[in-house]
Structure 1
Amino acid sequence: MDKRRAIGSWLSGPRAAMEDAGAELGYPGEQLGLPPQGPGSVARSGRRLAALAFDWALCMFIAYGLITDGYGQKTGNWALLIFFVLSVLTVGTIGSTPGKRLFRLRVIALDTGAPHPGRALLRTVLLCLAVPALVWDRDGRGLHDRIARTVEVRF
């Protein structure tokens, strides 16, 4: 393989490099039995990050309005607590946070389809640790979703 092709495959990411090597990866969510696009398909990272940013901004706004020392220095820790409670309650009951609802996303359990409060708790604890959310599989699920046996889909 020449240098240009090797660099091109590196810039395109591991999926492109694997496909260049002849591996059939399929589309994200194929192994989970989800459609390739449209409602029920695996949510793409852009929408997921936008929903997370919206939820975090909402939690910061609430924390700043409720718990401020005049300078707003302690709102970050409280915002994380508010984010935790908001995520556990909303994902565990209706399957989506306000940000996910705005961007037309929801969290489903792989085996039952309906979100479960215990899974929502586990998923949110891991999400708040941040590292599991940064490790993704080839279906686009974070480690927090894999451990909780959930997937974030479009609706």
Structure 2
Amino acid sequence: MARWIESWLPGSPAGNGDVPGHPGEQFGLPATGHYSVAGVGRRIGGICIDWLLAYLLVVLVAGTEAIGTPELSWWVLGAWYAVTVLMVAVLGASPGHLALGMRVARTDMARHVGVPRALLRTAMIAVVIPVIFIDADGRGWQDRASTTIVVRVLRA
């Protein structure tokens, strides 16, 4: 049986309570290989790469004297947010996703994530709390609210 909170989240399978055979099965995704659901470890690695990239960008622009200042963390957060939203909206993947063979896909399998979904999804990741609540499909609240899922992509 679905929990009460799932009933208001877009894209939630509220109602039947059936557990899928593998993550992403309800969206027609395979269990392994290309377009299978990306694992939590890979996703954490991707966000770490994104965060380090944002940190490097801020230090390159502001200089090394910015290290240790109270404003640095806000500038890093802003750079991470801007880079992530832009890349996910346009390419469907952040730099960390690209480096680790992942992309953000819409659950209706439309071609582009788009700016509104990327803005919402990234803002919810910045809050961190929605990220730690993952469902059987490996989707956090940020993915459920933006009707997206992070999948693996294999390079040719």
Scaled to the shorter chain, the TM-score interval is 0.7 to 0.9
Distance 1:69 1:38, change over 3 A: closer
Q: 1:64 to 1:29 in 2, by over 3 A?
A: same
Correspondent of 1:147 among 145, 148, 156:
145
2: CA distance between counterparts of 1:69 and 1:61?
A: 10
What is the distance in 1 between the residues matched to 2:55 and 2:64? 14
Structure 2 counterpart of 1:62, which letter?
L
Q: What secondary structure sits across from 1:31 in the alignment?
A: helix
Aligned to 1:15: none
Q: CA separation in 2, counterparts of 1:143 and 1:51? A: 18
Q: Which runs of 5+ in 2 are unaligned?
A: 1-17
TM-score, scaled relative to structure 1: 0.80
Q: Aligned to 1:64, which of 59, 65, 70?
A: 59
Task: Choose between structure 1 and 2 for higher RCO, CA contacts under 8 A separated by at least 6 residues.
Answer: 2
Preserved contact between residue 27 and residue 139 of structure 1 (Cα < 8 Å): yes
Once the two structures are superposed, the pairs formed by residues 28-107 of structure 1 within 5 Å of their partners are 28-68=23-63, 70-72=65-67, 73=69, 74-107=71-104
Deviation at 1:32, TM superposition (A): 1.7
Which stretch of structure 1 is more off in the superposition, 55-64 or 111-120?
Answer: 111-120
RMSD: 1.6
Query: 1:50-95 deviations in whole A, cap 9, x for unaligned?
Result: 1110110110111122125725123211010001000110000110
Residue 26 (1) aligns with residue 21 (2): yes
Question: Structure 1, unaligned stretches of length 5 or more?
Answer: 1-22
Superposition deviation, residue 119 in structure 1: 0.5
Describe the shift of the 1:128–1:24 C-alpha distance in structure 2 as closer, same or farther (beyond 3 A). closer
Q: Provide the aligned length of Structure 1 versus Structure 2.
A: 133
Q: What TM-score, normalized to structure 2?
A: 0.80
Runs of 4+ in 1 over 6 A off after TM superposition: none
Structure 1 or 2, whichever has the larger Rg, is 1
In 2, Cα distance between equivalents of 1:143 and 1:44: 16
In structure 2, the partner of 1:13 is: none
